Amino acid sequence: MTAPASSEAPIRVAVLGPDGRMGAQTVRAVEAAADMELVATVGSGDSLSAVTDAKATVVIDFTRPDAVMDNLRFAVDAGLHAVVGTTGFDDERIATLSGWLAGKPDLGVLIAPNFALGAVLAMRFAQQAARFYDAAEVIELHHNRKADAPSGTAAHTARLIALARADAGRGPAADATTSGIEGARGADVDDVRVHSVRLPGLVAHEEILFGAEGETLTIRHDSLDRVSFMPGVLLGVRTVGSRPGLTVGLENVLDL
Amino acid sequence: MTAPASSEAPIRVAVLGPDGRMGAQTVRAVEAAADMELVATVGSGDSLSAVTDAKATVVIDFTRPDAVMDNLRFAVDAGLHAVVGTTGFDDERIATLSGWLAGKPDLGVLIAPNFALGAVLAMRFAQQAARFYDAAEVIELHHNRKADAPSGTAAHTARLIALARADAGRGPAADATTSGIEGARGADVDDVRVHSVRLPGLVAHEEILFGAEGETLTIRHDSLDRVSFMPGVLLGVRTVGSRPGLTVGLENVLDL
Amino acid sequence: MTAPASSEAPIRVAVLGPDGRMGAQTVRAVEAAADMELVATVGSGDSLSAVTDAKATVVIDFTRPDAVMDNLRFAVDAGLHAVVGTTGFDDERIATLSGWLAGKPDLGVLIAPNFALGAVLAMRFAQQAARFYDAAEVIELHHNRKADAPSGTAAHTARLIALARADAGRGPAADATTSGIEGARGADVDDVRVHSVRLPGLVAHEEILFGAEGETLTIRHDSLDRVSFMPGVLLGVRTVGSRPGLTVGLENVLDL
Amino acid sequence: MTAPASSEAPIRVAVLGPDGRMGAQTVRAVEAAADMELVATVGSGDSLSAVTDAKATVVIDFTRPDAVMDNLRFAVDAGLHAVVGTTGFDDERIATLSGWLAGKPDLGVLIAPNFALGAVLAMRFAQQAARFYDAAEVIELHHNRKADAPSGTAAHTARLIALARADAGRGPAADATTSGIEGARGADVDDVRVHSVRLPGLVAHEEILFGAEGETLTIRHDSLDRVSFMPGVLLGVRTVGSRPGLTVGLENVLDL
């Protein structure tokens, strides 16, 4: 999303983990954003004091699970907002972080497992559509080096659809299959079928299909490059300061 | 959408225009709905008094532009809610109808140019996604007997996208095309490009594409049979009584 | 395919099984074809002599497995060409029929399990493309009343791809999947993965995907109505007389 | 395509233009091919004698229109086969080159405007399918920095379809459009409609749609990276020696 035209001072941003693939991309994105200034980068082994020395107001963390909690402890203590793409947040870590934030009513932290706006929108639309359709299935298509099937995003999407169906009083979709070859009908994720295609030449694609008598609705997201995560990261930086407390999931920032 | 399980008395429904293609489909759909009772049908030339004699509480109108205003005058006077799929509502008719309803604070009328839930959802999702993407285009694909290009739905979708982009401060998308064959880039609808494919074997399909660096999001609706309009009609019947005044557009009933 | 303009006498056609769904469609198609004349129809219980009495030169059989061999015996004896869509032809029946035809060097019989030109073309293209790609997968999508998964057409397509790969010296495609949910990777048909989607609103669709580094090729067939089988049936009628002996499969008539 | 297992000596290859984007990719591809040996590269300004000194038997030319004819003159004189991806071959150049080859009955030259196997296959399949369908349209989708619309490949595909239709005695497809917005029906290329979509996030995609009553057939090629041209280049190197004379177009090498 384009930065809103503004005469305000740019947001002072520090990037933690600038040498990883996501971090390096983020450095370039912050440098290119008219409403932000990259004031510090902190690589592995560097001192976090560079962040406060540079008077950053927002930190972006694309480091590693074993470093991120120390980084966040530092940011919260220093009164800095944080946008976090590092993985490894379980319930315990979420609780710990919430505890730290309890005493800082003005501070915002955004943790997002997925910064791809398109993936987040696709999931949200899937949730919205689910109750209107008799049945739904998910197809995800990835390059043939991927180790897990289905993808985490597709499994998560299927679970969101299952929840939305349950909320609307819908049970599992009818399935008339009585004979066939094992696996043809895909993986069963909370009664929603998920199919995983693996081919060289593909990157990362998800297709969510809904059906009712006489019509189908399809939502498809094609992700070709991690540069596509940057609008989500920048949106997080722009909004984290006005959203105090802990926010988990970019979808909560989109104001849909 | 499945009817909610209920011990309440069924909704008493009258169908005006039961012999047209949409009306005939509607008759079957009302008869099949567990929470509704078809108490009257009024064909061309029949007396509307059959509706009140049968103690209908909701009328469904799939008649013609030259009949629908008289039908609605009758329904409003008789204190009946109305769900209307008949076309031909311009600003003047909307104003007239609003005037009639002003004195009936408990009465609801729903006018919907499109009862296909999928088409309505696709448009809504397009509106929601538009501000997050650098550009959008629409492809609509129909059978080769269609006289207009682009379709009304596709043109309307393009206008909604243009409005959502404007609201977000986005101008027209960049277009680097400098040479080519006339028409290749489609129709320009408020700076959103719309492409119309016509082939035998197609029915009615719409595809809305959004793009940003590294990713695309696609929303596609395939409509094969007018039976697909029935869940939208029945949803209208179920909700019109609790939504007083005039409602234009099924999207306002979906509670997205 | 449009009939070629011609001043020749129309082909005299008899339809056996005119009351079934395919037979009834065929009757209409023959009647509408400018280069054919429907001279007889023979329903269940009717005498086959009507065919010879009417001086038919080609019979079309859409009857049942328990009737078709008697019909073909009659046709061969009477010197009539035959186009057959009835199912149930195993190796034994094929051998029997070939034996009958051995003594009739001018007579042609075409048996086709699938008269949909698009399905036959999709399979042929899949065979042609298979040797150029590192991997292939098949997705078939059908209405949710279908009992078997995968569809016979999809399984047959996968087998044709596997054969073409083997002919080109290609082994099974690499699959890096090491963890996941059972069934996600679809059914294994001769080392080609096949995925079956079932949704109301779908009819009959097949998608064949090929991948190599940096590109994918997709062939998709959408079948909405059995009227789509008619061009294949009529093509069979037009060509069977010039193709003596037994031909199995419409693909052999297409001259690709 | 995988190289056939072989105990033969590797093909000795020289790459002309190794510093351009295609040339650099080609250098890597030849180095990685088990049945080839890269024996020389000749950049702009280098002497072509390196090619003969290294005893190359095949040269690959990805240079520039102003250099390629001199390179080919040298290759033909030296008795070397050539695979050429450089553009700019008009009828005059083709005639000149044919003249040179006339005196060298054992020498092969392959000139290909497009080395993407998928694009070439898609065009071939389109030609094969065209005569069986009532109508066809082409949609091409590219990134929004593309200057021409439609793409050369899409326009060429449309012309091939038009030719195949004409060969089968088919006239222009019926079009019922009587009203609409200019451009909606796309560009008219020999009576075949071509639609050009431009969005950031897209790379290079072509979709060819065929329709007849009750069915559609779609052929789609997605090209994400120029690495996808390498199998075509290597196939050219492997076959050029056994195909004397001038061959224009990779499709002639595919033996479909």
| Catalytic annotation present for C142 | yes
- Give me the phi and psi of A203, to 5 degrees please: -115, -90
Which secondary-structure segment (H or E) carries C12?
Answer: strand C11-16
Could you tell me the strand order of the sheet in which A245-248 lies? A36-42, A11-16, A58-61, A81-84, A108-111, A245-248
| Catalytic annotation present for D142 | yes
pLDDT at D7: 62
- Give me the phi and psi of D45, to 5 degrees please: 95, -20
Residues 6+ apart with CB under 8 A from C63: C16, C17, C20, C23, C44, C71, C86
Q: C111-125 pLDDT, tens per residue?
A: 998 899 999 999 999
Residue type, C189: V
Number of Cβ within 10 Å of residue C53's Cβ equals 12
3-state percent helix, strand, coil for chain B, nearest multiple of 5: 35, 25, 35
pLDDT at D123: 96
Q: Higher confidence at residue D7 or residue B37?
A: B37
Chain D hits for C132, Cβ within 8 Å:
1, 117, 121, 231, 254
- CA distance linking residue D46 with residue D71, whole number of Å: 12
Which among B177, B65, D220 is positioned nearest to C122, based on CA atoms? Answer: D220
Average of per-residue pLDDT across C205-215: 97
Count the residues in chain D: 256
pLDDT at B255: 82
Measured in angstroms, the CA of D255 and the nearest CA of chain B are apart by 31
Average of per-residue pLDDT across B240-250: 95
DSSP-based three-state secondary structure for A195 = strand
- Report the percentage of chain C scoring pLDDT > 90: 92
pLDDT at A225: 93
- Give me the phi and psi of B64, to 5 degrees please: -135, 160
Does pLDDT of C1 surpass 80?
A: no
- CA distance linking residue A75 with residue D56, whole number of Å: 63
pLDDT at C256: 81
ipTM for the complex shown: 0.89
Exposed / middle / buried, residue D215 (Cβ in 10 Å: 0-12, 13-18, 19+): buried
Which string of DSSP letters, residue by residue, matches A119-146? HHHHHHHHHHHHTTSSEEEEEEEE-TT-
Q: A173-204 pLDDT, tens per residue?
A: 999 999 899 999 999 999 999 999 999 999 99
Count the residues in chain A: 256
Q: Residue C179 is nearest to which of A141, A147, A173, comparing CB atoms?
A: A147
Question: How big is the CA angle at B15 (ends B13 and B19), to the nearest 5 degrees?
Answer: 155
Q: Is the separation of the CB atoms in C144 and C113 below 8 Å?
A: no
Q: Do B203 and C224 touch (CB under 8 A)?
A: yes
Q: C140-179 pLDDT, tens per residue?
A: 999 999 999 999 999 999 999 999 999 999 999 999 999 8
Average of per-residue pLDDT across D104-109: 96
Chain A hits for D201, Cβ within 8 Å:
222, 224, 228
- Give me the phi and psi of D197, to 5 degrees please: -100, 135
Which string of DSSP letters, residue by residue, matches C15-67? EE-TTSHHHHHHHHHHHH-TTEEEEEEE-TTS-THHHHHTT-SEEEE-S-HHH
- Give me the phi and psi of C129, to 5 degrees please: -80, -25
Q: E-strand spans in chain B?
A: 11-16, 36-42, 58-61, 81-84, 108-111, 135-142, 148-149, 179-180, 187-189, 192-198, 204-212, 215-223, 245-248
Cite the annotated binding site of A for NAD(+) by residue number: 17-22, 85-87, 112-115
Q: Provide the sign of the torsion angle of the four alpha carbons A125, A131, A133, A136, taken in this order.
A: positive
- CA distance linking residue A11 with residue A13, whole number of Å: 6
**How would residue D2 be classed by pLDDT, with cut points 50, 70 and 90?**
very low
- Give me the phi and psi of D146, to 5 degrees please: -75, 135
- CA distance linking residue C218 with residue C239, whole number of Å: 30
> A243: which 2 tokens?
């959203």
Q: Residue A213 is nearest to which of B129, B222, B228, comparing CB atoms?
A: B228
Which among D100, D207, D208, D204 is positioned nearest to D142, based on CA atoms? Answer: D204
Which among A255, A252, A254 is positioned nearest to A109, based on CA atoms? Answer: A252
Average of per-residue pLDDT across C47-52: 97
Cis amide prior to A105 (ω within 30 degrees): no
pLDDT at B6: 54
| D43 labelled binding-site residue | no
Residues of C in CB contact (< 8 Å) with D are 1-2, 4-5, 116-118, 121-122, 124-125, 128-129, 131-132, 168-170, 210, 212-231, 254, 256
> C165: which 2 tokens?
């790969």
Exposed / middle / buried, residue A91 (Cβ in 10 Å: 0-12, 13-18, 19+): exposed
Which secondary-structure segment (H or E) carries C236?
Answer: helix C230-239
**How would residue D256 be classed by pLDDT, with cut points 50, 70 and 90?**
confident
- CA distance linking residue A216 with residue B114, whole number of Å: 15
Q: Which chains touch C (3 or more CB pairs under 8 A)?
A: A, B, D
Residues 6+ apart with CB under 8 A from B45: none
Q: Which chains touch A (3 or more CB pairs under 8 A)?
A: B, C, D
In order of their start, the domains of chain C are 11-111 (3.40.50.720), 117-224 (3.30.360.10)
DSSP one-letter code for D46: S
Could you tell me the strand order of the sheet in which B58-61 lies? B36-42, B11-16, B58-61, B81-84, B108-111, B245-248
> Helix A152-167 and helix A117-130: axis angle, to 10°?
30
- CA distance linking residue D145 with residue D200, whole number of Å: 8
Q: C69-119 pLDDT, tens per residue?
A: 999 999 999 999 999 999 889 999 999 999 999 989 999 999 998 899 999
Tell me how far the alpha carbon of residue C3 is from its chain's centroid.
20
> Helix B152-167 and helix B117-130: axis angle, to 10°?
30
Nearest residue of D to residue C213 by CA position?
D228
pLDDT at A7: 62
The per-residue pLDDT of chain B, averaged, comes to 94
- CA distance linking residue B214 with residue B134, whole number of Å: 11
Which among A146, A103, A125, A145 is positioned nearest to A221, based on CA atoms? Answer: A125
Give the 3-state secondary structure of C153-217: HHHHHHHHHHHHHHHCCCCCCCCCCCEECCCCCCEEECCEEEEEEECCCCCEEEEEEEEECCEEE
- Report the percentage of chain B scoring pLDDT > 70: 97
Q: Residue B134 is nearest to which of D136, D193, D200, comparing CB atoms?
A: D200
**How would residue D1 be classed by pLDDT, with cut points 50, 70 and 90?**
very low
User: Which of A159, A198, A202 to mutate against chain C (most C CBs within 10 Å)?
Assistant: A198
Q: D4-40 pLDDT, tens per residue?
A: 555 689 999 999 999 999 999 999 999 999 999 999 9
- CA distance linking residue C238 with residue C216, whole number of Å: 37
Cite the annotated binding site of C by residue number: 17-22, 85-87, 112-115, 143, 152-153
Measured in angstroms, the CA of D221 and the nearest CA of chain A are apart by 11
Chain B hits for D182, Cβ within 8 Å:
183, 187
Nearest residue of A to residue B220 by CA position?
A218
pLDDT tens track of chain A, all 256 residues? 444 555 689 999 999 999 999 999 999 999 999 999 999 999 998 999 999 999 999 999 999 999 999 999 999 999 999 999 998 899 999 999 999 999 899 999 999 988 999 999 999 999 999 999 999 999 999 999 999 999 999 999 999 999 999 999 999 999 999 989 999 999 999 999 999 999 999 999 999 999 999 999 999 999 999 899 999 999 999 999 999 999 999 999 988 8
- CA distance linking residue C86 with residue C97, whole number of Å: 14
Q: Residue C219 is nearest to which of D2, D124, D219, comparing CB atoms?
A: D219
Does pLDDT of B213 surpass 80?
A: yes
Q: Is the separation of the CB atoms in C41 and C27 below 8 Å?
A: yes
Does pLDDT of B2 surpass 50?
A: no
Q: Is the separation of the CB atoms in B228 and B118 below 8 Å?
A: yes
**Pair type for strands C148-149 and A179-180:** parallel
User: For residue A61, is it left (φ>0), alpha (ψ between -120 and 50) or beta?
Assistant: beta
Q: B119-140 pLDDT, tens per residue?
A: 999 999 999 999 999 999 999 9
Q: D40-56 pLDDT, tens per residue?
A: 999 998 999 999 999 99
pLDDT at B7: 62
Nearest residue of A to residue D118 by CA position?
A201
- CA distance linking residue D161 with residue B199, whole number of Å: 15
Number of Cβ within 10 Å of residue A141's Cβ equals 25
DSSP-based three-state secondary structure for D67 = helix
Q: Do A186 and C186 touch (CB under 8 A)?
A: yes
